[in-house]
Structure formats: C-alpha cells, structure tokens
Chain A
Amino acid sequence: MIEIVRLTKQFDDFVAVDRVTLSVSSGEILALLGPNGAGKTTTVRMLAAILRPTAGHAVVAGYRVTEHPQEVRRQIGLLTEHPGLYLRMRGGEYLDFFGRLMGLDAEERERRAKDLLARFGMSEALGRRMGTYSKGMRQKMALVRAMLHDPSVLLLDEPTSAMDPHSAKLVRDAVSGLRHHRRAIVICTHNLAEAEALADRIAIIRRGKIIALGTPKELKGRLLGPPLIELHLAQPADGLVKLVSDLVEIETQGEDWLRYSTPSPQETNPRLLRMLTAQGVGVVTLSEVTRSLEDVYLRVVEE
C-alpha cells in the first residue's frame, strides 16, 4: 500500500529526511516514532504529496507521489498535528466542503458524515460552530474529515499531541477503530505508549534516518537482548546460583530471588522448573520481566 525507497528531503543545507526506505501493507498500522524534528512530519507530508522529495521515491496506494500527486491526495486521509478547522463553520458545512473537494456526491457526503460522527460520538456536533468544540472534539472532527472519503491510506501526524489524557484516549480509541484490512495507517508520534498500543510495527526515526524498524516485540528482542525472567523462591537462592548458571545467564540476584536471561524461555524454563523440583526447591513465582518500549527507544536514540 505504501512503498518508500531511499526517500530524501533537503531544505537548503538541512537534510530533514535521509534515504528512508520502508513499506506498509494493507491492514497494517506503522508508527513513526521519534523526537521532535526527527523528520516524521516531513515524511508524512511527502507521502501526502504536499512536499516533493529531493531524491528517492514513494508509491502510495499505487501512485507515485511525484508523478500523480492529485491521485495520491485523492487516496489518502491526512490528520494534521493541529486539527486546522475553520472555526466559523458548522461541523456539517465543514465536512460537506471537504466531501465536495474529495469528489463525493451529496448523498454520500451526508451519509458518510453522519455515520462517522455517530461512530465517534459526535452526532450532536453536526450543527454547531466548530469554534465551540472542545480540544478532543476538534481532533475527532479532523479525524472524521480525514476519513470522510474512506481513504485506503491514513496518515496521522501526532494525533494526540498536546491533548489531556482523557481526550487523547478518546482519539486513540477512535484510531484503533479505523483498522481495516484494506487500509494502511501511518501514525507519527513521540508517545511511546501510543505507538505500542496502536502499531503493528514501529519505525524509530532520528535526524531523518530510520534507525530501527520492527514489531514492538522484535525491537525489544533485538535491542534489549533475550527476555529477562524473574524467579522467586521459597528459600534463600545462594546455593542455587551455581546450579542454574549452567542453564541460564544470571543478571542479578537477591536473597530469595534471581533474574536471568535466556534466548529460548520455552525450552529453558520447564527444564529449570524440573531441576528445581528435583532438588526440592519451592518456586513461588516465575515470570517475564516487562520491558517497556521506552527502554528500546532510549537505547536507540541515545546510541
């Protein structure tokens, strides 16, 4: 659905996006994760055929962004960082205007607007001037605008930035509801929880370059090493360290607990439990230590 090959954007002497290569298939949600100024918005603007790449190419919904920019813009829905609504307009008028620009007929415009507003719990907002909307409502209205023509590619640039947690959750819920087998979604964000919650794959971008790409699990495995397991025992762990160190690599230990890493927990953990049971050692808990995407992000970005 989206194919990007060595996409580059240079403003005078500043390289905003540097030879980015990635693809997003139908039904997939990709998060572009990176600090401010990393090149996320510039990448999205090139995918939306608003900015022209300096080098490389991008194919969106089957069309090259440089050769058929209008077709590309017809196929995509773009949610900008700021909702960018015309505040003197009523919600209905606003959606009608964008529906006309996207080539929808009157009946379809009305039907799609009503359906989407109902889906996002905004039906009552149709006749109100948008200047009276709350921040969350404005962002949801912008999302409805981006979805109005049922685009096959949805580009969401910082959909929840500068929003309070409640509004952000409303928008996140709305976005997760847009997942569809015929639609590719790209979300730009610097919100790690949002990326982990919504995305199938994450591309970490820094200074215009993709520095890590994969599913959250792959990224953790690749960048943080094998899974970390914590074992709590019913007795002091001192005598056991030597015993288990042949099987796993011990990272840290306490009086009655130890933490170890293993590349294949499916095989190692049952063997370890059998061995401990044979030795008559009581096991209180055995669980994987949760490692956040934040650890991955910080490690990658700091490198």
Chain B
Amino acid sequence: MIQVTDRPRWLRRTRAIDSEWLRLVFTLVRREVRDSLRDWRIVIPIVILTLFFPILMSFVADMALDWVAKYNAPIVGERMLPFLLLVVGFFPISFSLVIALETFVGEKERKSLEPLLATPLTDAQLYLGKTLAAMIPPLLASYLGITVYLIGLYFIKGWTAPSVLVVLILVLTTMEGLVMVTGAVVVSSQTTSVRAANLLASFIIIPAALLIQGEAIIMFWANYRVLWWIVLLLILVATILVRMGIHTFNREGLLGREIDQLNVASLWHTFRRYLMWERWLFGLDLRPPADGGRVPVWLRWLGTVGGLYGRDVPAILRRSRLAFVVVGVGLLASLFVGQIYAVHYPLPPGVLGLEQITADTFAEMPSIDWLPALTTWGVLSNNVRALLAAALLAMFSFGSLAVALLMAPLAIIFFFTAQAARLGYSPVLFFAVFVLPHGLLELPAATIATALAVRLGATLMSPPRGMTVSEGWIWALADFLKVFLAVVVPLLAVAAAIEAYVTPFLVVLAYGS
C-alpha cells in the first residue's frame, strides 16, 4: 500500500491552500459560470436587470425629483436616489439564489454530479467553487447595474453619489448576495430535488425580503451608519452559513440521500437510542446476566438512578464543554454590560430605597403584572418557561439567543449591584442577600440549561463528526431533555423555594426597617 509521506501528517491535515488548490477551484468556477451564461433563462433577466432596469430607474428618479419638487418636498427626492441605488443593486443578485439553489441538487437531478464527485476535488474545493460560481455573474451584473444607474443619473440630473454611499451599497449588495448564496447552497446540498430546494428557499427569500424592507426604511431615514451594522450582521450570518455549509456538505450526504421523505419511525428510534442509558452502580454493570438470571427490582431502580447521575449526566456535561465556554463568555459579557450601563445611567439617590423594604414589600409583589408570583410554583414555572423558551429560540439562532436570554437578567443583576455600590451600599452584602441564596442553585441550573440549548442550536450549524445534522440534533435534544429533567428542574425547584421563603427573609433582615 502506498503511503503519502511527502509532507508531515499535521501539514497534510491543514489542506494547505496553494496555487494548485485554487487552480482546481477556478477550473470549476469557470465551467459553472460559462454554463450559467449559456442558459437564456438566466442571461435574459440578468441583461434586462443590468441594463434596461437601471436606465429606467434613472428616468424614474428624474421624474420623481421633479414631481416632489412641485409639492415642496425635495427631501423625499433626495432620499429616493440612494434608495433606488440599493434596489438597482439588489435585483440582479436575487438571481444568485436561483443559480445557487440549482447548484448541487440540479446537478444531482441531471445525474451529472457523480462524475464530478469522482474527481480529485476536495469537498471544500467543490463548495467554494460552486459558491463562487453562483455569486460571480449576478454580482457582476449588480455592479454593472449600479454603474449604469449612476452614469444615467449623472447625465440626466447631474447627481453624483457620495463615495461612502457607493462603497456602502457595493459592500451591502455583496454581503446580501453572499448570505443568500451560502444559505441556498446549504439548502441545495440537503435536498434531493430542485422542487424541494425551491420550497425550502422561502427560508431565505422571506428574511431577505424583510431585510430589504428594513434597509429601505433606513435609506429614507438617511442613517447610513445603521446600514454598516447591517453589513456586520450579514458578515456574521454569512460566516455561520459558510461554516454550516462546509460541515453539512459532503459527498456522502449528496449521494447517500435519495429521498426527502420524513421517516418519523426512524427519527423516534434514533431519539430513543440516545435518550436511553445503562443501569450502573458504583462500577457494577447492571445488565441482565447472560444465563437468563434477573437483577433484583430495587437494584435495577438504584442502577437506573446511578447510571443517569453517575455516568450519563457527567458524560453529557463533558461533551457540552464548548457550549459551557460560550455561556461563560456570555456571563462575563453580562457582568461587563451591567457595569457599563451602571456607569452611563446612574440612578438618582433614594431610588433603590433599600431601607424602606419590609415584609409587606414582598407580599405586595404579586400585584405587579409582569413579575411571577413569589411562590415556589410561581418562580419555578417562570424559570422553566424561560429556559424552555431559550432552548426554542436557540434552535432558530444557532444558540445565540439562548445566551442572550441568560445574559439579560444577569446584566440587570450586575447593573443593580453596581448601582448599590455607587449609592454607598455594600455590593457584597447586596449580592449575598438578594441573589446568592437561591442563585447558588438557580445560576448553575440556568447555565447548564443554556449550554445544552446552545448545543441544540449550534448542532444545526456544526453537527458532531460522523453524524448528519438530524442525527446530531436528535442527540443534542435527548441530552437536553435528560439533563433538564434530571438536573435543571430539581435544582430550580429547590432554588424557587429558597427564593420564595428564604431570600425575602434575608433581605428584610439585612436592610429592612
């Protein structure tokens, strides 16, 4: 057997990007672009949107400026010119979505994908080549359209766009194209037919349409700095989608999947497999003996609990360590945010009024609508609801919103602790009586739940090695449910009882009059 030993193993693993690597990518890009440009269904709309539409927009802008001037509303016209620049740039790049959606699944349908997969191209080269090929023609058309529009307006109206605005629109257009293409490539590589890919494209089209509407409002508001933040957001989304695409795109997935049918029985079977754990007690494996004997019932029950808490939960927490790091960073950030806000928005003296707290203060709290009832059940149900909502949001935000939901109350706690310090109270005493009694249990419970929720969302972007997205997600869901029911809810229940009965007592003891 031949061993490839020309480079050290670690260097081979880096898949160094050299000129040969890029040559193969551009060979693929060139073919794909040429193929797109031979398709009249792509070429004709792009030509219309690149040449005819921008000229039309120039005349529309000219007429609109004259019309609004009659009503003494020149500002509407002034704002319309940059807005139309955005529209002229966006329309051609919408075609990148069509090309990208077709890129893998269309080839698969035409049976031309397998020969390409049998070439020495790596998965990354295929992904990059297909993505670039889907982006280049529409982006060039978009840049050309913007140029035609600007030249048209210069000659018709003598209007010259500020260079910052032109750069902003070019960057914005490029990033919108990148987000749509990377999203479409993910969709395309996960479906088995163009029809299915087109149906799933709504997940790209609807957010893109909402984004354009938002950008239009910002354009008329003329606060272009906000658009740079949108550019930053788009870069973040594109990065996540590229990572997701690279993780989910592989030859196995492209050819191994033949039908899109939802196999509920198979999903349930997988879920059950991951949800189960083995009975275990202090190193003793409690599986039924091979000779057909039975393990006593009491020992099986003990083994079930021992297996869950002694082996399964620690293993789940260990494999979620990266998610814990993310949550830890979030906790530190909330401390920082709370401090910053406390400095920027100091409370006037007397607002906290800690000396005025009495036992009645807590008794009156249920009358405040947005706060949960200060009972064990009220606090527990509120916390469970919040953490489940965080897990749900995590699935749609690759885990980020779960961290944000945890950060918000913590930032508020740190804000008030810092304010207490500013107003002359001891921040240690404040934190010790208001937060610590129940927080000792509640905070770890919330951290654990959030970390597992982060895994639920992040798995969609980056499934565990050797697993499909659905398998990895089902695994993360089973882990979440096990730990949530076995660890988080019991901790929250005890914390809720402390919060309802011990914390108020300590607060009154420390500050009450």
Q: Do A and B bind each other?
A: yes
Residue numbers of A with Cβ under 8 A of B are 11-13, 45, 48, 50-52, 59, 61-64, 68, 70-71, 73-74, 76, 78, 80-89, 97-98, 100-103, 142, 145
Q: Choose among B110, B114, B115, B121 the residue with the greatest number of A CB atoms under 10 Å from its CB.
A: B115
Nearest neighbor of A76 in chain B, beta-carbon distance = B118
CB of A93 to closest CB in B, whole Å? 8
Instruction: Collect the chain A residues with CB atoms within 8 Å of residue B38's CB.
Output: 88
Does any Cβ of A come within 8 Å of B485's Cβ? no
CB of A266 to closest CB in B, whole Å? 42
Contact of A59 among B1, B35, B114, B117 (CB under 8 A): B1
Nearest neighbor of B115 in chain A, beta-carbon distance = A84
Interface of B is mostly: helix
Contact of A51 among B2, B35, B115, B255 (CB under 8 A): B255
Nearest neighbor of A3 in chain B, beta-carbon distance = B1
Chain B residues bordering chain A, tally (CB within 8 A): 29
Instruction: Collect the chain B residues with CB atoms within 8 Å of residue A76's CB.
Output: 118
Contact of B2 among A62, A89, A100, A103 (CB under 8 A): A62
Once A13-B266, A45-B255, A50-B255 are accepted as A-B contacts, the answer to whether A100 and B120 lie under 8 Å apart by CB is: no
Instruction: Collect the chain B residues with CB atoms within 8 Å of residue A74's CB.
Output: 120
CB of A111 to closest CB in B, whole Å? 19
Residue numbers of B with Cβ under 8 A of A are 1-2, 4, 23-24, 27-28, 31, 35, 38-39, 110-115, 117-122, 251-252, 255-256, 266, 269
* Cα-based distance from A78 to B116 in the complex (angstroms): 10
Nearest neighbor of A94 in chain B, beta-carbon distance = B31
Nearest 6 interchain pairs by C-beta: A62-B2, A82-B111, A78-B118, A84-B112, A101-B119, A84-B111
Instruction: Collect the chain B residues with CB atoms within 8 Å of residue A83's CB.
Output: 111
Instruction: Collect the chain A residues with CB atoms within 8 Å of residue B266's CB.
Output: 12-13
* Cα-based distance from A62 to B4 in the complex (angstroms): 10
CB of B211 to closest CB in A, whole Å? 34
CB of B358 to closest CB in A, whole Å? 64
Once A63-B1, A84-B112, A101-B24 are accepted as A-B contacts, the answer to whether A50 and B120 lie under 8 Å apart by CB is: no
Instruction: Collect the chain A residues with CB atoms within 8 Å of residue B110's CB.
Output: 84, 87
A-B contacts, 22 of them at CB < 8 A, read A12-B266, A45-B255, A48-B118, A50-B255, A51-B255, A51-B256, A61-B2, A63-B2, A71-B4, A80-B111, A81-B111, A82-B111, A84-B110, A84-B112, A86-B31, A88-B39, A98-B115, A100-B23, A101-B24, A101-B27, A101-B120, A103-B120
Nearest neighbor of B24 in chain A, beta-carbon distance = A101
B118 and A50: CB pair below 8 A? Answer: yes
CB of A193 to closest CB in B, whole Å? 25
Instruction: Collect the chain B residues with CB atoms within 8 Å of residue A80's CB.
Output: 111, 114-115, 118
Instruction: Collect the chain A residues with CB atoms within 8 Å of residue B121's CB.
Output: 101
* Cα-based distance from A98 to B24 in the complex (angstroms): 10
Contact of A78 among B4, B24, B115 (CB under 8 A): B115
Instruction: Collect the chain B residues with CB atoms within 8 Å of residue A59's CB.
Output: 1
Instruction: Collect the chain B residues with CB atoms within 8 Å of residue A45's CB.
Output: 114, 255
CB of B303 to closest CB in A, whole Å? 28
